């Protein structure tokens, strides 16, 4: 099924993507997990920092906290919006 994002629901859409398999076997499977929450804290279980790609471009290092700030983004949408 498909899901239409609602920018007014106050929830982050958190997509965790990982690839499983071997580069040499040519059988790489992409696995996605989707979560909804108002705040997320990401940290490494060891002392080494992890790199995160946020919104397709920004690179951050752990630990990081991401949360919703109500009414901080102004959006202009058309009449055909689906939320």
Q: For 6-24, write each residue's pLDDT tens digit.
A: 777 888 888 777 766 655 6
Inter-residue contact 15 to 33 (CB < 8 Å): yes
CA-CA-CA-CA torsion sign (32, 33, 37, 40): negative
pLDDT in tens, 23-35: 565 666 676 788 8
What's the predicted TM-score (pTM) here? Answer: 0.54
**CA–CA dist 83, 66 (Å, integer):** 23
CA angle 69-73-79, nearest 5°? 130
């Amino acid at each position: 099924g498909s899901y239409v994002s609602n920018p007014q629901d106050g929830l982050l859409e958190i997509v965790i993507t990982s690839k499983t398999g071997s580069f040499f076997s040519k059988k790489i499977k992409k696995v996605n997990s989707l979560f909804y929450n108002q705040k997320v804290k990401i940290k490494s279980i060891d002392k080494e920092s992890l790199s995160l790609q946020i919104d397709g471009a920004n690179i951050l290092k752990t630990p990081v906290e991401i949360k919703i700030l109500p009414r901080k983004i102004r959006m202009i949408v058309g009449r055909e919006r689906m939320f």
